[in-house]
A = this chain, B = another copy of it.
């Protein structure tokens, strides 16, 4: 099968991957209510296309935190690049550069901060999970700065790992597939309850601000209340996200939370949307509701699994092509022209 959309890559990747690893990629937490909702939420938004607009020239270039992107799409931070394909994050970073996207390198990336930076000329962001011992975390931030990373993305929705029951049944241990190459054995030993650190608070944000001049992005917010706090704490970016349905099952979808966050932030921070993006029209819907760009996660791993750097680039190119078509067919030739009037939301998104 010649893949023609992201779902094709999903099928192809499944054929190639060890079932337990596949489950790890795909799993949501507990009953996977939120995982499913991440898709159905997009399918329930209706588009109101305009016609007879001059769409002879489509421009989807944008900036995120001042960096140029060829399309409003970034690669979400994930740790599984090498398990998907030996070329790992380097391949993804190169594909992102080629496609005008941007890779957010995960804290637990399977290649080192430095080698990924050397592999690409494109902008890179670094995603941070803090360690209980903040010196360990500061050390990786310093390395990212030194390697030319341009922003720090602090993930705030994994103070404990969600119950991903597929992984539990599979007795899955990602460390069998991918080691924490960016941390020394010493560092890891110093922080025994790694993911269950339970220590991130708004003080962590202030600490991060205090140790770096890089722009700070918070990933994992789902409420206007927290977005306002983020603004107060001076962050430059917010990723509205439920962590791909992998953390709190039953959590609201990002796309549904987006309007209230956009309204509350009122331009004082950039806002990105993460979760469930599979089509150009999904991007269009997110932009119409006020996102500056979207993050794409699992589909990148599917592309990487199937065809390495080429696969990732193809996934991004298909999104580019689909978004271009969607902009043309909805009469929105520029990102600025993608406004709230383009979408009609499900009535039950009204708050009660």
- Which A residues are closer than 8 A to B by beta carbons? 4-5, 30-31, 33, 37, 43, 45-56, 156-157, 159-160, 162-163, 165, 168-169, 198-202, 204-205, 218, 220-223, 225-226, 229, 247-253, 256-257, 279, 281, 285, 322, 325-326, 328-330, 341, 344-352
For residue A162, which residues in chain B have a CB less than 8 angstroms away from its CB? 325, 329
Give complex CA distance A251, B250 in Å.
Answer: 24
Chain B residues lying within 8 Å of A256, measured Cβ to Cβ, are 46
Q: How far is the CA of A4 from the CA of B30 in the complex (A)?
A: 10
Closest residue of B by beta carbon distance from A324: B160
Contacts of A218 in B (CB 8 A): 51-52
Sampled A-B contacts (12; CB under 8 Å): A4-B169, A5-B165, A30-B279, A31-B43, A43-B250, A48-B223, A48-B251, A50-B226, A51-B221, A52-B156, A163-B325, A249-B281
Given contacts A4-B169, A252-B344, A350-B352, 13 further A-B contacts (CB under 8 A): A30-B281, A31-B279, A47-B248, A50-B226, A51-B156, A51-B218, A51-B222, A52-B229, A53-B201, A157-B329, A160-B328, A251-B330, A344-B351
Residues of B near A56 (CB, < 8 A) are 198-199
Q: Which of B199, B205, B281 contacts A250 (CB 8 A)?
A: B281
Give the CA-CA distance A56 to B200 in the complex, in Å.
9
A347 to B198, CA, bound (A): 34
- Given A50-B226, A222-B49, answer yes or no on A330-B30 (Cβ-Cβ < 8 Å): no
- A252 pairs with B352, CB closer than 8 A: no
Number of copies: 4
Among candidates B248, B250, B347, residue contacting A352 with C-beta atoms closer than 8 Å: B347
A347 contacts across to B, CB distance below 8 A: 347-348, 350, 352
Inter-chain contacts of A4 with B (CB < 8 A): 165, 168-169
- Are A48 and B222 neighbours in the complex by a CB distance under 8 Å? yes
Complex: chain B residue closest to A352, CB-CB: B345
Contacts of A257 in B (CB 8 A): 48
For A205, the closest partner residue in chain B by CB is B52
- How distant is the Cα of A159 from the Cα of B46 in the complex, in angstroms? 20
A54, A322, A325: most-surrounded residue (chain B CB, <10 A) = A325
Would A51 and B248 count as touching, CB distance under 8 A?
no
